[in-house]
Structure 1
């Protein structure tokens, strides 16, 4: 904002400069925004909610001053010239709230009809709006329930969800056209798909080498053989009826491997063609509270660092920041079939935190076909996405913003990736196995190989303590050595680029064996093709969901001595003997010399104590919807078969009560503190000053655990706990950067599979149909097309107003008492800004 615009606002409210500024604002605002003799009052008390007369608004601005949310708008209006040549810039929409129609109907050249104005829609946007207008025609003369476009999309969605074949769908269309000759129905499935494609709802099929070496795409689109391994692009199939001994056998051109790519640019452009979403796309800049707490990734150091490094990008609030999530899943819902399909999903971080991880806002970008995981070759399949992201960064795409009524150049960037630890290695190129498994500690990872357990352990957490801490000198209770190490410095993206200078990537499953290099890097990640990637301080996220699941497995398995899960076994005791520590736990020969005996450790429980421990988990009464029935996983003093969210709930809430009843205080206390640490890590609002305390706590907790549990307990997942606080500081709240919403979204993709021989095709068509439904909810809701749910509202996104769903999924109406209880709960659990929006 120009400094001259704010000079009168900065003066004392009794000064003549301030009084003249208020007069200028009122003189210009009433002709533009007045209804009769009233406009909305932008003072601190009214905050644009009340319509008041001019004299009352004058008094309010003198007594209370302008609201900080509308200072820029007030200054713009007070400097607006009324000759129609220099109108207010209202690209942000600030001050209009929900009265957007008034903004476009007001006088002034810049606020005329957006489709006819000087800065109206560009060619692509005009074509899109023309299709939407045409699609809003009634299905048949006199129809008020459906438009022809909404009915066609609903019919297409019905076909995909219920697995209707194309031939059956074609016959159904013919029957409907014969029965309803006046209805505007498509003549074929191809015509319906072409209409959907005109709206930007489409995907591309790209052929790939069956050995994952290259894509037959861009400059390689005309090739029939792979350049690396020589494999054919096609599957050779003999045609029926050809002679058996014919030397010239005919073949059908069927691609050996196909990936699906969903273009990103039209999907981003469409977000700004919807008024409500265009308003939400700048929430990260103008809608959140600025009190120094972490509520959104925009509050984190990584976002701020990128903004300071690239001020041109950050100067436009509508530029989009994305997250890239990748994970593999079995589309058949069966554990006895080995099949791994890998989708790549984009997360839109411009949206508010209660919307950015919702399923309707996750964008499927790439679908990599199975049956095998792409592993390090995932970079081959990400080439189209990276190429489009580079174009969006360097050139941008011309986009029409319906909220402002103007075109602008939209740019986009990737903040980080989200994946499990296996996916971390695939996306970053750093090997997450072996002695340097920690990507944060990198070359300074402290690890030891346990000869008898045949695994690596990661201890030495004393090096994160203060240099003068007394535990650094304690050899007896730790590993028998004095700790002199220091906390390692983080490898920056520039450091990694320098390390990988001249590194040559090798892709494909049948490549020549490359020279073995002494480096934990298996490749140079394709993300380094993005010009800003090396300056990003948080490129890949550690997934707290899988970390918690593994930590819970280790704790429960060891405490309850579950076979195959316990980390305290004979080999672990021999490792202690090998290291020369904790002599009381060393294995000894029995009196007859035929057996090996081991002494009970401090954390071992009797049968009675195990029963008490398990009873806490089995008999816990939990609020409906907060967790699954954890008691069904408790069987004969064992806890088996629980899922990731169950582990999350156990660690946060139930473990502290179980260990307090069953274990000695010296064992129970560190585990209780671990529960408190995890609850702090998962806070939706994080106080930065508390992060230092949480970091100090987890170091002490891990050191305490080193005194209690054997070395085999400390796998890489236990060690990664020490790095979670740093990632929160850089990336913002943990619940916006983990795999929980992504895993739930994968379950939704599994539900699309109808043709088990082509699961990826079913998923692509199902996603496209679901995207069409979301499109109808945003653009055709005036016709009552598909859904009357406002997808932008955090409450209505899952429930109809005045209704709720029971456990069977059926909708029933709330009583007055239930409705009041729900309303009270929302008011008590929302911030001030959310309450003001609900009150409006």
Structure 2
């Protein structure tokens, strides 16, 4: 069927509205459990799920994506050999008839990614996929189950697509593992003889691991002192606070606290598995307009200075720049329950502005359990992530670029963190309370002690005015002239010298590794912990290491 109507300028004409109605009719057969489908308007670009009537309004208002000629998300079959999706891609013996469109799309991405390391037939540039043994075991299992009918004669579901539907329902309804097992057992009994469903949720979780959605757990001290890994892997109590690792009274060794770590390398590789995303990951180099206008982090001084300092990294625009976001939240939504869980999220900045910091590209890296905030000991939980980031900087990981149809060595760097002001203090190690609360002004922070409220207020804003500004000589602000210049911003090397001096080996520390008060040097006292980020070899060369989330600090009127 012709899709020329998508390009019509008058989206309120009868022809356009008729075609939109036909599209909605086709899409109505492919909705989720909440009656939603992907919205193909130019603003959503099939990323957001919406009700059918809202999708129709969005298409009329914004227009449909003109390149969306085959409605693979709305009922039309996916052709793995189609040159529209990926030129020069190998054809694979995978039956797609009867598969869910999202399932076929997902496996297509994984197949194209696998072609980067596949054997090549002599005299040909096409990878050899004569049999599934050429693919890795995980992908082979997925393809096998994608072609395995749910029961003999079933044309609506494969084993894989039905399991994915069950997992989606579990997520949407927030049901427990026990409820999932009960429903699974009931469905197995209701299906005809020869059904292929897994027997338990334990088996179903294998699919999540095969798709790269698994995670590893590491036991942690209940007081956030240490992680039980490396030399402490077999320890039964914390070496710093002597708290038991396991819940007392339990016959089986059940840890009191566990941190969850999600595979970062797999998620970064996945950014290049689809042709569109792989192309957008080079946007900052290939399509960004450099006209001294700040539209993207690549237009900023920090990015440009980093490129100058590490030219080998910037030489390949496919290398990934990351930002780290973290904040505490109450997962129960009950304000009377003071439970604080801390997710650590990474987001890539290679993408264009309309994709940066959007939900599909958030990478959950660490999940720090509650019920209390880890405070400055958040760096205990960040150590495995920092080691992974250091490895990605030094050695990188092999990745396949679906846009260029080539494999390359992917490296990654953490440019900065984004957080509110209290979390700024936790992640930087500089106390954001008291007299020297400003991490940028450092020792030159201007403060005044309020005698009656016993609090600090921060003055000296006129220091940033031009030297000949008339307000500098006015006494209407605080009764004084302001003749000082703006505070000097310390370099990474200067800050590192301060930190190393504050945490010399002969300084007395308490049981949890924090330095005790007692030094007469206020600057050294204001450093509460040496942040784990300083172990990254490039961290001291970054100009802007920590950013404030304006949503948390802006006063709303």
Fold in common (TM above 0.5)? yes
| Structure 2 CA distance for partners of 1:301 and 1:216, relative to 1, 3 Å | same
Contact 1:280–1:350 (Cα < 8 Å) also in 2? yes
2:216 is matched with: 204
Aligned mates of 1:512, 1:471 — CA distance in 2: 43
For the 8 Å contact 1:120–1:406, the answer to whether it is kept is: no
Distance in 2 of aligned mates of 1:215 and 1:457: 38
RMSD value over aligned CA atoms?
Answer: 2.8
Q: Which has the higher helix share?
A: 1
Residues 508 and 544 (structure 1 numbering): CA distance in 2 closer, same or farther, change over 3 Å? Answer: farther
1:319 deviation in Å? 1.0
Match for residue 526 of structure 1?
532
Distance 2:271 2:411 in 1: 13
* Distance in 2 of aligned mates of 1:512 and 1:116: 54
CA gap 1:167/1:105 in 2 versus in 1, 3 angstroms: closer
Equivalents in 1 of 2:144, 2:296: separation in Å?
39
> Structure 1 residues 258 and 514, CA, compared in 2 at 3 Å: closer, same or farther?
same
1:234 and 2:246 equivalent? yes
Moved more, 178-187 or 363-372: 178-187
Q: 2:541 aligns with which of 535, 539, 544?
A: 535
Which residue does 1:395 correspond to in 2?
Answer: 395
Question: What residue number does 1:386 align with?
Answer: 386
| Residues 536 and 329 of structure 1: CA distance in aligned 2, closer, same or farther (over 3 Å) | same
Give, in whole Å, the separation in 2 of the partners of 1:484 and 1:323.
38
| Higher RCO (C-alpha under 8 Å, 6+ residues apart) | 1
Deviates more, 1:508-517 or 1:299-308: 508-517
Counting only pairs closer than 5 Å after superposition, residues 116-515 of structure 1 correspond to structure 2 as: 116-117=119-120, 126-127=136-137, 129-137=139-147, 139-140=149-150, 145-180=156-191, 181-237=193-249, 251-475=251-475, 477-504=476-503, 514-515=516-517
Deviation of the 1:131 alpha carbon: 4.3
Residues matched between the structures, number = 436
Are 2:88 and 2:126, in contact at CA under 8 Å, matched by a contact in 1? no
The SS at the match of 1:193 is helix
Deviation at 1:409, TM superposition (A): 1.3
Residue 514 of structure 2 contacts residue 528 of structure 2 at CA under 8 Å; is this kept in 1? no
Superposition map of 1:610-629 within 5 A: none
Is the alpha carbon distance of 1:133 and 1:429 closer, same or farther for their aligned partners in structure 2, counting shifts above 3 Å?
A: same
Structure 1 residues 540 and 450: alpha-carbon distance in aligned structure 2, compared to 1, 3 A threshold: same
- 1:509 Cα shift? 7.5
Q: Give the CA deviation at 1:218.
A: 2.7
SS in structure 1 opposite 2:548?
coil
Q: For 1:318 and 1:512, how far apart are their aligned partners in 2?
A: 40
Aligned to 2:86: 101
Compare CA radii of gyration and give the structure with the larger one: 1
Q: Match of 1:101, SS?
A: coil
SS of 1:541's partner is: strand
- In the TM superposition, 1:14-33 aligns within 5 A as none
* TM-aligned CA distance change 1:544 to 1:101, over 3 Å: closer
Does structure 2 conserve the Cα–Cα contact (< 8 Å) formed by 1:139 and 1:151?
no
TM-score normalised by the chain length of structure 2: 0.72
Structure 2 portions without partners, runs of 5+:
1-82, 92-113
Q: What is the CA deviation profile of residues 2-33 of structure 1, one whole-angstrom value per residue up to 9, with x for unaligned ones?
A: xxxxxxxxxxxxxxxxxxxxxxxxxxxxxxxx
Aligned-pair CA distance for 1:423: 0.1
Secondary structure in 2 matching 1:534: helix
Q: TM-score, normalised by structure 1?
A: 0.49
Give the Cα separation in 2 of the matches to 1:374 and 1:258: 13
Point out where structure 1 has 5 or more consecutive residues left out of the alignment: 1-97, 107-111, 239-250, 550-646, 651-840
Distance in 2 of aligned mates of 1:121 and 1:435:
67
TM-superposition CA deviations, 1:150-197 (whole Å, max 9, x none): 321220121233233333322322332333344432222111111221
